[in-house]
Amino acid sequence: MKTKYNALTIWITGASSGIGEALAIAFAKRGATIILSGRDEIKLQAVKKRCKQSKKHLIVAFDISDANQTNEAYKSAQQQAGKIDWLINNAGISQRSLIMDTAEDVERKIMEIDYFAQTRLTRLALPDMLEQGGGKVVMVSSVAGLLGTQYRGAYGAAKAALHMWANSLRAELYDQGIEVATIFPGFIQTNVSMNALTGDGSTQGTMDEATSNGLTTASFAKQVVKALTKDEEYIIVAGTKEKLATRVNRLSPPKLYKLIRESKVT
């Protein structure tokens, strides 16, 4: 069945820049009504203006790591939009530090933002989705959630946890109209490495070479929209090397980790 985007309301978190911004623009182009969320309302306003039929889209600014703000944001989104058909959990933060150099409170912050904040918002949305007869939950995990690499111990763990939680959600609610998809981005040209946390909790502030050479956000969004339109559930959007690594991992994890140990990862 062809997806009728002009009848859909899609809530995208982390929509003020990067892949969230690209997804908002792409889905708006297809006629969907977009709820844009993030912490910075000024940036969200700028993204809204870039969306087709900008006046019909909504902004709900909040800090997703704050449970009280999240509860109020959900109430606001539901009240303004009337319904939420798709929830795309895209907000998150990355990491660039060795495990031995990373403080426990930094690991907890990463887990709070990249796992607990996403599952919290999803649990808020599910009852109304079930009552309206269905909906789609999209989790943005990472290739790092499939493959453990240096400098991303807590980040990879959080993204892997999100992936497994999504699998369980799919198994539990598949017969009640809830579709669940998980996206696994590889290196995409965003500010993710600039904002990544180091071992003491400060931001890295520099762009990784692999990130700067990654896929464009427009290319990422195009592939994601195509996959979600086809109701795909596991969506890897990455460069050739990352995709090859996921294949090697399925065939021989020991061989993959030998290659990872020998590779330069930053």
Catalytic residues: 155
Output phi, psi for 93, to 5 deg. Answer: -140, 145
Chain centroid, CA 241 distance in Å: 21
Instruction: State the amino acid at position 84 in one-letter form.
Output: I
**Is the CA virtual torsion 64, 68, 69, 73 positive or negative?**
positive
